[in-house]
Structure 1
């Protein structure tokens, strides 16, 4: 299928020290899995097949502690995130999102960071009114005033 639709081909993952690359890799895989309607077992097999170099070595160590026959996608992601997108980093992102401040950044950059933070605090992200209020609370007062006037 990937020969026929090369844009569908998931990319290999060799490991990273940049947590957003790892998190983005999982989100990208999930888009493929959703499109292809893959079940848990196939998702885990595909994801582990795409691991290379350092990431493959880490998985080899981690798989000794799991039952591959019953490993779910959620469990795989948990193992993956422990290595590449730790709870500490996710916690920092949640705290950053809970106290948004535009500061000296432009609106586009603030919006990008805000959208990224929404992913980690879904209770706010799912409520459109709360999300808008949270965004407006973080934006510079001069811009907030202009937006309110509109």
Structure 2
């Protein structure tokens, strides 16, 4: 659904249950929900329910993430999951693109680099095509 940040927050609030609903009732005091972004809401939730040492480990894991033996689909999934914990990268297209590309396996990174893609979405698509093409070439031999 394409809804505003404020509406996303309101929808999410209605799904909170038990302890989370009680926590939100006290956390919301003094907040302007009409101006709260989805990112702000997620960060408040992460700060409450994911302890600082765990958040730190998730950030370290993300910063050292490499494709390795993973498929491109698996790498994209892990990268996008990790972005939630590092908003300075997730919120900046250039940083996101750089970190994603940097973690690609060397042969796929090469293919992406020579394609001169400019967006994260184009880079992901190029990585998928590169991996598929390389698998097809191996099958021919």
Give TM-score scaled by structure 2 length.
0.52
Is 1:147 matched up with 2:112?
Answer: yes
State the Cα RMSD in Å.
Answer: 3.8
Aligned residue-pair number: 109
Once residues 28 and 72 of structure 2 are traced to their aligned partners in structure 1, the CA distance between those partners, rounded to angstroms, is 46
Is 1:120 matched up with 2:112?
Answer: no
Instruction: Give the structure 1 partner of residue 123 of structure 2.
Output: none
* Runs of at least 5 residues in structure 2 that lack an aligned partner in the other structure: 116-141
Q: Which segment is superposed worse, 96-105 or 70-79? A: 70-79
Is 1:138 matched up with 2:103?
Answer: yes
Instruction: Give the structure 2 partner of residue 105 of structure 1.
Output: 70
Q: Is the 8 A contact 1:100 1:137 kept in 2?
A: no
* Cα distance change of structure 1 residues 148 and 122 upon mapping to structure 2, 3 Å threshold: same
* Cα distance change of structure 1 residues 94 and 78 upon mapping to structure 2, 3 Å threshold: closer
Q: Does the residue aligned with 1:133 lie in a helix, a strand or coil?
A: helix
Q: Which segment is superposed worse, 86-95 or 96-105? A: 86-95
Higher relative contact order (CA 8 A, sep 6+): 1
Alpha-carbon distance, 1:101 to partner: 0.8
Alpha-carbon distance, 1:57 to partner: 4.8
Once residues 122 and 68 of structure 1 are traced to their aligned partners in structure 2, the CA distance between those partners, rounded to angstroms, is 22
Task: Within 5 Å, give how 1:25-104 maps onto structure 2.
Answer: 34=4, 37=6, 43=10, 47=13, 50-52=15-17, 56-57=18-19, 66=26, 70=30, 80-81=45-46, 84-104=49-69
